[in-house]
A and B are shown apart, each in its own frame.
Chain A
Amino acid sequence: MSKQILRAPIGQSAPRERARRFATGRGRYTDDAASLRGLHAAFVRSPIARGDILEIDCDAARDMDGVVAVLTHADIAGRYRPWRAGNALLPEMKAPEQHALPPSRVNYVGEPLAMVVATSRALAEDAAEQVFADIDPLDAVADIETALAPDSPLIHEDCGSNLCVSLTSGNGKFGADFEDADLVIEDTLDFGRHTACPLETRSMLAEYDPGSEVLTLRISHQCPHQLQAELAKILGLGQHRLRVISEDVGGAYGLKQQLYQEDVLVCLAAMQTGRPVRFVADRLEAFASDNHAREHRVSARIAVRKDGRITGFELDDLFPIGAYPQYPRTSLGEGNHVLRMSAAGYDIADFRSRLRLLFQNKALIGHYRSVGHPVACAITEHMVDRAAAALGLAPETIRLRNFLSDDSYPRETPTGVHLHYLSQHACLDRLLADMDIAALRSEQAKLRGQGICRGIGIASFVELTGTGNGFYGPGGIDVSGQDGCTLKMEPSGHVRCMPSVTDQGQGTDTGIAQIVASVLGLEVADIRVLSGDSEITPHGGGAWASRGISTGGEAAWQAAQTLREQLLLVAGHLHQRDPATLELTEGHVVDASGAQITTISEVAHICYFRHDLLPDDMPTELMVTRHAVPRAQLFQATNGIQAAYVEVDTDTGFTRLLGHWVVHDGGTLINPKLVEEQIRGGVVQGLGAALLEEIRYDEDGQLLTATMADYLVPMASDVPDIQVSHVTSGTAEGALGAKGVGEAGVAGASGAVLNAVNDALGPFGATVRQMPISPRTVLTALRAAAASATTPPFEDAP
């Protein structure tokens, strides 16, 4: 499709419509919804990582005042269908059966054992303490070594091992020696386990109307249609009798993308009691039962020639997921992106990668913003920097020598990823200019003389956005890669806009409204966006893979174009003009000279009320639905680059962030301010990953980080200024030319900080290989370097 000329309000930094409500305390989060005769749920959760359930005694709890129901496996078995998280494209992947409440075995700390429903949350918590679960403890599998050991306990006996799946990719032979290499460097990075920590914890309110047999679930979720489809299957309801509403959502980030046991349980409890049942996770249970992400141990080898060309790259990702793959998307996504996206922007003849997912007696690993990309970026960019240091090259020099050349697109990577175009050279140029690399290096050198230890790190990344249906659909997973948009023009000429994409704070609604307003010649205020309700919006993906504008915006554009043509057709007839000569501008129909002929509202009014003025065969519908799905390529691959400037206190091991730069190619920017704030927010999550955030379990699988005092997220005072610049290149898909932007900030931030810290530690011969980079990590690296004499690690380097 040829690119259209885009006009305002596309390209303007319109404020978020929802922000006004939030700032005035009028958000409508799930827990703000009132419910008559509503009940509250609390869960009895497993205190141990693995054990056999001998008995769950609920008698005392059931007798307590205010308690309406106490449910265990025995009470709900047969009333729902258990699920398995597999993918038909990967028949060898282990997909053990999962239940809403465990029949016989607990597999992680925090796993729900029983559900108490009472007239208040406090009473439900009181009663939950009176449920006595007798569990026979078993040895837990709580680290990579244990999971791989030949005599390891089996988390799922019927799976035969703790290996969920093993995959390889690339064009070379995994494990083989590299040919054409003057130097091969090996290294291993450990990435901490994270969780997304949305401000609003998981919240839900289920209500069942036996009269109409309709189940309504208000839930803080990012993919209401997906949840509608899955719950319908699990509960045995028609999808038309299940309504999922996710109105205001206080952050989701992939954590609210899949299915949790509690989602099913509140529905079952609402159907059983005939009363609304509410569950709002408190922060303790959020840490224990929300999905986690990112724990990886990645070993890599990079082969380089003396001239700085990278000739080979191999990586081996050990990815300890939780007790089960998360339903319905599985836990593969992160690992798959490490497997396929590592080194994707480099021209490397021999690339191989391997991925192994390991079961653990821990909470489930799911998706977290930028799924796997931060790991792929960090291991790639760490290895590239290691090679550069060994060869005595500047970080930007080795990248320039090895980036895919600008004239080589479209192309496929060795892992089969289609790249329509990457703007890596332009992004790097812009980054070096933005940060004034020469001045920064000279300051760094000067301060080193004064004993102040600063480092500069660069991390380039390639990301997949706006993903279509290549993986889920053929894999038998009902996740929509298609998104839709319904427009209903009211007789007044105002528009109700119902997109399938959802907004958890990104500002997607506003971007969609800008697109519709642009096409129809209206103001943003003339468009009311109603998203997040599976009953009124077209079935679509919701929020995943940075699709809000790149896919959802495209659907809105197409719907608006159709509505526009309809309005012009009617206006042309009424005023005896050729519709092709007319345009919609500033609420009016105008001719080629710009003269106003009539108003849009007048045309709409006639379409609804004055059919007497129109021929019988003239269509007058002002309600349109269009869908968009990436077809020319399965996703919009794009790229960006980030840089970090840090100061490391080598006495205390503390790292201070001094500056951060991002250059990103988001294609067409519908709303530059919202794009930049998306990127900045993502960077902050990446900075947390680099320096602070880690979910920790002990060797028995006991959770050690259960509060915000233990799981450290960056605070405003920890975050430096983040400068964001844009490079805009074209896409293969769509009229708008917008690529995904929501995850770019996270993708490169941690890798940039890692490289900056290692640049700072370079003069000491120390390297950190673990994130988060805690003061302890830095001091340990410095001590190890001091102990291992002064020989440089690659003294045989040319």
Chain B
Amino acid sequence: MKPYPFEYTRVSSLEEAVTLLQREDEPRIIAGGQSLVPILAMRLAAPSRLIDIGGLSALRGIERRGDVLRIGALARHAEVMASAEVAEAVPLLARAISHVAHPAVRNRGTFGGSVCLADPAAELPAVCTALGATFEVFGSDGLRTIPAREFFLDIYETALAPDEILVAAQLPVACPKERFGFEEIARRHGDFAIVGLAVRARMEGTLFAELDLCFFGASPRPVLAQNAARAVIGQELTDETQQAAVSALTADLDPQEDAQADAEMRLHLAGVLLKRRLAEIAGKERQQ
């Protein structure tokens, strides 16, 4: 478990990082290293150079800017978890973050690292997708933005160009009529989810006016279950609408088989999560 030899540069600017990304045969960006270092140790990757962006202070910080919360790519999971701004402005993220790994990993792992790794069973890509977040990325043409819903393409595959770096994520601040739900099913706390669900709903009384259901671990990327959402939008939650939503998941999800679950079991578990989270949201509205 010793990595192949590699070169290493700790860059002092985004421009320097981009130049190295363009120049190297097989560059890899390293931030918290919580996924990359094990991959290197197991010799599953052989980068020519690691580009350490840890010194770029522009990528740090969590900051409210109007109706978005901007989370720097280098914000560590532990910072997100401890942030009062996150808890207030993006309650869905506050609920999800405690499911990300364990304290030791959260102390080093970064928000941007999790987003860019694009593990289909990871929490943060799903939260960003559910909320319709926007990613700021920096490349040879300067800054541009990519909507989260267009960012995750496949297993470990994103819309980032080879010479682009994620700078920050902009997550919309919750409005009063929005409700959120989050649940994941994992063998142990902190493991990658077998299936998980991040929910954003806007309620009009007991009606679901808007509904974003983002499943993770249930497809090769985080997926918005639009058919399932349509079965509920504009309606109250009843046994019928709930069942219609669950049935629609077949069309929304592309579950894979692994050691923990086959496709059928994943679909079943997705349905269980959907019922539970919708019932939780609807139940709270009825109580009010």
Contact check: which of B2, B185, B191, B268 meets A125 at CB < 8 Å? B2
Cβ contact within 8 Å between B2 and A652: no
**Interface Cβ pair total, 8 Å cutoff:** 54
B-side contacts of A578, CB under 8 Å: none
Cβ contact within 8 Å between B187 and A652: no
A-side contacts of B261, CB under 8 Å: 775-776
Cβ contact within 8 Å between A779 and B265: yes
Cβ contact within 8 Å between A717 and B189: yes
Contact check: which of A283, A774, A779 meets B1 at CB < 8 Å? A283
Q: Does A180 contact B (CB under 8 A)?
A: no
Q: Is the interface of A mostly helix, strand, loop or mixed?
A: loop
Interface string of B2-18 (1 = CB under 8 A from A): 11110000000000000
Q: Which of A351-370 contact B (CB under 8 A)?
A: none
Cβ contact within 8 Å between A710 and B190: no
A-side contacts of B231, CB under 8 Å: none
Cβ contact within 8 Å between B187 and A282: no
Closest-CB distance, B101 to chain A (whole angstroms): 11
Q: Give Cα A712 to B265, complex, Å.
A: 20
Cβ contact within 8 Å between B272 and A712: no
Cβ contact within 8 Å between A652 and B189: no
Q: Does A651 contact B (CB under 8 A)?
A: yes
Interface string of B255-273 (1 = CB under 8 A from A): 0000111100100110010
The residue on A at minimum CB distance from B186 is A654
Q: Which of B230-273 contact A (CB under 8 A)?
A: 259-262, 265, 268-269, 272
- Knowing A121-B2, A696-B259, A779-B265, the reply to whether A718 touches B185 (Cβ < 8 A) is no
B-side contacts of A121, CB under 8 Å: 2
- Total contacting residues, chain B, CB less than 8 A: 24
B-side contacts of A714, CB under 8 Å: 188
Q: Does B82 contact A (CB under 8 A)?
A: no
Q: Does B42 contact A (CB under 8 A)?
A: yes
The residue on A at minimum CB distance from B187 is A712
Cβ contact within 8 Å between B185 and A715: no
- Knowing A651-B272, A776-B260, A776-B261, the reply to whether A282 touches B185 (Cβ < 8 A) is no
B-side contacts of A779, CB under 8 Å: 265, 268
Contact check: which of B43, B189, B260 meets A774 at CB < 8 Å? B260
The residue on B at minimum CB distance from A717 is B189
Q: Give Cα A125 to B40, complex, Å.
A: 13
Contact check: which of A652, A696, A704 meets B272 at CB < 8 Å? A652
B-side contacts of A710, CB under 8 Å: 259
Q: Which of A96-122 contact B (CB under 8 A)?
A: 121-122
Q: Give Cα A121 to B190, complex, Å.
A: 32
- Knowing A652-B269, A776-B265, the reply to whether A712 touches B188 (Cβ < 8 A) is yes
B-side contacts of A704, CB under 8 Å: 259
Cβ contact within 8 Å between B268 and A718: no
Cβ contact within 8 Å between B1 and A718: no
Interface string of A373-390 (1 = CB under 8 A from B): 000000000000000000
Q: Give Cα A710 to B191, complex, Å.
A: 10
The residue on A at minimum CB distance from B262 is A776
Q: Give Cα A775 to B184, complex, Å.
A: 14
Cβ contact within 8 Å between A715 and B2: no
The residue on B at minimum CB distance from A694 is B259
Q: Give Cα A24 to B187, complex, Å.
A: 33
B-side contacts of A774, CB under 8 Å: 187, 260
Cβ contact within 8 Å between A715 and B265: no
Q: Give Cα A121 to B41, complex, Å.
A: 12
Closest-CB distance, B184 to chain A (whole angstroms): 11
Q: Which of A271-296 contact B (CB under 8 A)?
A: 282-284
Closest-CB distance, B33 to chain A (whole angstroms): 16
Q: Give Cα A66 to B142, complex, Å.
A: 46
A-side contacts of B4, CB under 8 Å: 126
Cβ contact within 8 Å between A284 and B1: yes
Q: Does A266 contact B (CB under 8 A)?
A: no
Cβ contact within 8 Å between B188 and A717: yes
Cβ contact within 8 Å between B265 and A284: no
Closest-CB distance, A658 to chain B (whole angstroms): 16
Interface string of A772-795 (1 = CB under 8 A from B): 001110010000000000000000
Cβ contact within 8 Å between A692 and B1: no
Q: Give Cα A654 to B187, complex, Å.
A: 8
Q: Give Cα A696 to B260, complex, Å.
A: 12
A-side contacts of B102, CB under 8 Å: 715
A-side contacts of B192, CB under 8 Å: 709
Q: Which of B26-78 contact A (CB under 8 A)?
A: 42-43
Q: Give Cα A287 to B144, complex, Å.
A: 45
Cβ contact within 8 Å between A692 and B188: yes
B-side contacts of A712, CB under 8 Å: 187-188, 191
Cβ contact within 8 Å between B259 and A718: no
A-side contacts of B2, CB under 8 Å: 121-122, 125
Closest-CB distance, A778 to chain B (whole angstroms): 11
Closest-CB distance, B113 to chain A (whole angstroms): 17
Q: Which of A496-515 contact B (CB under 8 A)?
A: none
A-side contacts of B268, CB under 8 Å: 779
Closest-CB distance, A363 to chain B (whole angstroms): 18
Interface string of A422-434 (1 = CB under 8 A from B): 0000000000000
The 18 sampled A-B contact pairs (Cβ below 8 Å) are A121-B2, A122-B5, A126-B4, A284-B1, A284-B42, A652-B185, A692-B187, A696-B259, A712-B191, A717-B188, A717-B189, A717-B190, A718-B188, A775-B260, A776-B260, A776-B262, A776-B265, A779-B268
Residues of B within 8 A of A (CB): 1-5, 42-43, 102, 185, 187-192, 194, 259-262, 265, 268-269, 272
Residues of A within 8 A of B (CB): 121-122, 125-126, 282-284, 651-652, 654, 692, 696, 704-705, 707, 709-710, 712, 714-715, 717-718, 774-776, 779
Q: Which 8 A-B pairs have the closest CB atoms?
A: A282-B1, A122-B2, A651-B272, A717-B189, A125-B2, A715-B188, A712-B187, A121-B2
Given contacts A125-B1, A717-B190, A779-B265, 11 further A-B contacts (CB under 8 A): A122-B2, A126-B4, A284-B1, A652-B185, A652-B269, A710-B259, A712-B188, A715-B190, A718-B188, A775-B194, A776-B260
